[in-house]
Amino acid sequence: MDIRSSACMTNTQTNRLYWLLFCYSFIVDKFKTKLKEASLLNWKLNEIYSFLNKYNWILDSTSHGFPKIIKNENLSLKLIWIIGVCLSIGCCCFFIIDTIINFSKFEVTTLVRHQTQIPLKFPAISICHNEMFLSAQGHEFRNQVLKSFDIVNIFNDSTLSSIQKSDSQASLNVDFFDYISRLKSYDQNFTNGIRKSFGFNLESYMISCFFESVDCDIDNFIWYYERFFGNCYKFNIGKFKNGTQKQTSVGQYSGIRMEFLSKTNDQVNDLSVAKGIHLALFDQNSTVNPFRGIDLSTKHLTNIIVRKRVTKKIPYPYSECEEDHSKYLSSEVYQATKEHGESYSQNLCFELCYQSFLFSKCNCSDPSKPRFKSTPVCISNLEIYCLSQSYTEFYAKLNIRKKCENDCPLECERTEYDFGVSLTDYPTNLRAKSIVDLLNSKNVSKNYSLDFVKENSLKFNIIYDSLEYVEIQELKKTEIVDLVSSIGGLLGLFIGLSLLSFAEIFEILILVLHQIFKREKSQKVIQVQPKNENSTLN
């Protein structure tokens, strides 16, 4: 047993010794290999260094400072040049980084130009009356609304007061009643003929119309039912044989002149809330926004000086506008917006976005906003209450831009009409008498009086004060060419580098690579097989 045990121990120690010798030889071989590689690398670096010294590439460099550091033998001067070069490089890097940061902000400059255009296209016009219900049929409809809500006295009615409490409850109740009446007029069972009979009739209320010195063609006025004003008419929309009216000269009689009655002498007014004409100007390719307009009061001549404004924005990332709307084509809200006009409008899209939100809450639509698909109008008391709550939530509590960002991109180009207004008393006795004669000749049975005409007539002129329009265009503050030029200027100012200076770097790299491969090729050993002496002797 002792002999076997001793033999086993001897074998184990021998194996361990062999293993240690193997590890030692492996480590030594690796060390020798690394040492050879290091010596070879050191040799290559020395070769490259001697090669670069041979060509004096730093002394030949066009950059500033570096040659001075190399060729100066005075230590203090060498140190001064080193400090100067480091400071220059630091300043250069700072300004280059600042330039790149400013470029990445995508800032714009605004160019405002006054472009002359003769003739200058005249805007399209929307004409409405501030009172939706003007006729006897409209008055009767409002009485039916009163009966349906059991309203006896509008000022202190409990139904109207329950919608919202106020310290000025009587005034608020009148507004609520007016709003509910307008809602009820959107009953889907009403035909356009019935709606048309409720209120504003162009032939009954328009006294005269001229473009420059030519009578307006009544057939060029297009009726449409506006969601808030009821009967409205568009003029100069450019879809007739005469096309769009254009102004060729400047002056008081160069534009459009119209006279209107605010009411007729057979109009019932005991439930009227407002009077006067509402006017809106818009581009022929866009949808009319009646609330971007002006109210014209009676007993006044209103001069409206128009200025066309074209705004052009640069697409993302320089602004939030987008030229490519392809990713929104799947949106029902976006598609509905496109269907409402020839050109897209984000403001209109926001209103349809609200309609979509309202439909998700109340299963009906707000008749005071553009129609969304074929959703029914909020008519019942419960629906009107739901509408009121949803309206407050959407416009007062939500961020509209975030809520509708997936449906309503911002357009990059927009044409709008700004205007200034001046008023004067109207009509004079002479003008009132001429209107009375004109009206009585058209409507013998109505017998208009001079006092009635003076109290209820108005006139407006729409003119350009110059045959030019304002173009507001965004321009990139920094183009990519400006960025490259700025960086190049900074490199030249602080370091003295130009584009050709970088060519020197590529030249050195090419020469170094060429030197390395040349040396490696020369170091290759060609082994020659020695001749067999025996075979030679034989």
| pTM metric for this prediction | 0.72
pLDDT in tens, 221-278: 999 988 788 899 999 988 766 678 888 888 778 889 999 998 876 666 666 777 889 9
- As a whole number of angstroms, the distance between CA 235 and CA 257 comes to 12
Report in angstroms the alpha-carbon separations of 135 from 222, 234, 452: 20, 21, 18
CA distance linking residue 96 with residue 484, whole number of Å? 10
Segment (H or E) for 88: helix 75-104
CB atoms within 10 A of CB 161: 16
End-to-end CA distance of the chain: 66
The CA distance from 468 to 92, in Å, is: 47
Count of CB atoms within 10 A of residue 469's CB?
A: 20
- Neighbour count for residue 81 (Cβ, 10 Å): 20
Give 327-339 pLDDT, tens digit per residue: 999 999 999 998 8
Higher pLDDT pick, 46 / 89 = 89
Helix (H, G, I), strand (E, B), or coil: what is residue 281?
A: strand
Range with the lowest mean pLDDT among 139-148, 152-161, 419-428?
A: 152-161
Rg (CA), the chain: 44
pLDDT at 8 (0 to 100): 46
**Residue 388's closest CA among 145, 152, 172, 189?**
172
Cβ pair 279, 125 in contact under 8 A: yes
pLDDT at 128 over 90: yes
- How many Å apart are CA 194 and CA 187, to the nearest integer? 11
